[in-house]
Structure 1
Amino acid sequence: MESATRPCVLVCAGLDPSGGAGIQADIEAISAQGAHALPLVTALTVQDNNAVREVVPVDAGLLLRQAVVLADTMSIHAVKIGIPGSRENAEAIAGIIRMLRVRRPGLPVVLDPVLASGRGDSLARGDALAALAPLLALATLVVPNLPEAAALGISTTGADLPCPHVLVTGGHADGVDVVNRWFSAAGAREWRWPRLRGEFHGSGCTLASSIAARLALGDTMAQALELGQRYCDRTLAHSYAIAPGQRIPRRIHS
């Protein structure tokens, strides 16, 4: 019989009504790893599987109150952060992390530094880059794609890391393989995955959340990165369509 309890991952991310990215993607990916997601919705959005038209942040005080209630009841083993939606929300999330780390020092925090949708649509009210500033220093792992890494000033050689671990994903580069590079104080490592045809909605959410879940389950960072990437690649290989354009990763039973 399966264990009666699962480790919990606190997730701070936006709600995508198409169901392809954001909080739904996070919940599905975390559940698929055998962990349990505690979702805090940072923003409501108007979007489909291809474009974001509007982002409405929720109240920062509400996020804090939700987190306090959860932390008082449940043991949180990891945190995954997507779009904060606003600078105020980012500061509230930073406060939540500091609170949780008093109770669990070394709590792993995975930050998916989403600055824009795949089509370039803004995903925060105001300056999306500034909204991430309070969170970078608290992250255990940041998972940017190449444009995000450039915007954040993260070198693709691993110099001057903003946090202990960085995984730069190479989906925006050319070539027959997607090359993902992990940088840490211990050195660098890369993975190569055959490039799949098509475009996908929510691949970054899927990857970051699956890694956070693996860390919550007790994997080392190397194990979490390996298994998270394998899972994400499988969801993309078995993706499905809900409308023309970007496909949806098959995160459940993939």
Structure 2
Amino acid sequence: MNQPPRILSIAGSDSSGGAGIQADVKTITLLGGYAMTAITAITAQNSTGVAAIQALSAEMVAAQIDACIGDIGVDAVKIGMLGSAEIAHVVADRLEALVAAIGVVPIVFDPVMISTAGSVLADEATVAAFERLMGIACLTTPNVDELAALGGDEALAARGIAYIAKGGDAPGETVVDRLVVPGQEPQVWTAQRVETRHTHGTGCTLSSAIATFLGQGVPLAEAIEDARDFVHAALLAAPGFGEGHGPLGHHAVR
């Protein structure tokens, strides 16, 4: 019997279902993976913004990770919203130990700082703690503003970090995504922009899709290309919910 790849999402909960853990579980499941979760924070949010955030304790996050890895096992990890610097460090502790114990594990880090609707989701201390996670991850997935906050292309390249600079937030009719891997020529993908306000959860969906494909053994560049196709299809299938930045149409993608 073929077993699905075991994908652990470490991220925050989105009560409206469009982003975070909820988007990750939908994506992982639709792409043939087995989704597990370590919830870092609970949010009250919808398409118009985040009304409230409550981070869990770092100990509870660690316990969730331990429970999943210790029994089910893991083939790839996606990291999203973390909620606090303490959580970021305990996640780094657990993943460093995992890699030391079993060797290479694909880890995709989405350095979530601001929601699609503009709510701040990471303070300065948490962003500073991202350094450890970027060092562990095989891929970091910043958008335009996140890349700038992390120091830009030169800073990430100097630290030897592999990343995809996402261009969905940049102006223009063409979206340009750029993969930078130390020691390799950058790889660029372009696509016609999908004109829609229903973009809530695009970053979460992309990163969890990449992690799922990597967990299936797909090479990095191919995993990114397949994940981009999935996000594009989900954008086109958006159901039109919400008064603001509505969710993607995960349900309609086959």
TM-score (norm. length: structure 1) = 0.93
Q: CA deviation at 1:99?
A: 2.0
Quote the Cα distance in structure 2 between the aligned partners of 1:56 and 1:231: 31
Alignment match, 2:135: 137
Percent identity reads: 33
Q: 1:176 to 1:126 in 2, by over 3 A?
A: closer
Alignment match, 1:177: 174
Number of equivalenced pairs:
251
Aligned AA (1:210): A
Structure 1 position 247 matched with structure 2 position 246: yes
Q: CA deviation at 1:54?
A: 2.2
The C-alpha deviation readout for 1:16-61, integer Å capped at 9, x for no partner, is 1011100000011111111111111100112111211222110111
The C-alpha deviation readout for 1:147-184, integer Å capped at 9, x for no partner, is 11001013189742552x21111111122111100111
Quote the Cα distance in structure 2 between the aligned partners of 1:162 and 1:139: 11
Quote the Cα distance in structure 2 between the aligned partners of 1:125 and 1:55: 13
Quote the Cα distance in structure 2 between the aligned partners of 1:121 and 1:181: 25
Q: Name which of 49, 57, 60 aligns with 2:58.
A: 60
Quote the Cα distance in structure 2 between the aligned partners of 1:72 and 1:158: 33
Q: Is the 8 A contact 1:43 1:84 kept in 2?
A: yes
Aligned AA (2:170): A
Quote the Cα distance in structure 2 between the aligned partners of 1:37 and 1:107: 16
Q: Name which of 74, 80, 83 aligns with 2:81.
A: 83
Deviating above 6 A after TM superposition, structure 1's stretches of 4 or more consecutive aligned residues are none
Q: 1:49 to 1:38 in 2, by over 3 A?
A: same
TM-score (norm. length: structure 2) = 0.93
Q: Is the 8 A contact 1:242 1:248 kept in 2?
A: yes
Q: CA deviation at 1:127?
A: 4.0
Quote the Cα distance in structure 2 between the aligned partners of 1:167 and 1:126: 22
Q: Name which of 138, 151, 154 aligns with 2:152.
A: 154
Alignment match, 1:206: 205
Q: Is the 8 A contact 1:156 1:168 kept in 2?
A: no
Segments of 5+ residues of structure 1 without an aligned counterpart are none
> Which structure has greater helix proportion?
2
Quote the Cα distance in structure 1 between the aligned partners of 2:59 and 2:47: 30
Q: CA deviation at 1:125?
A: 5.8
Trace 1:181-192 onto structure 2 (pairs within 5 A).
Answer: 181-185=178-182, 186-192=184-190
Aligned AA (1:79): V
Q: Name which of 101, 104, 107 aligns with 2:105.
A: 107
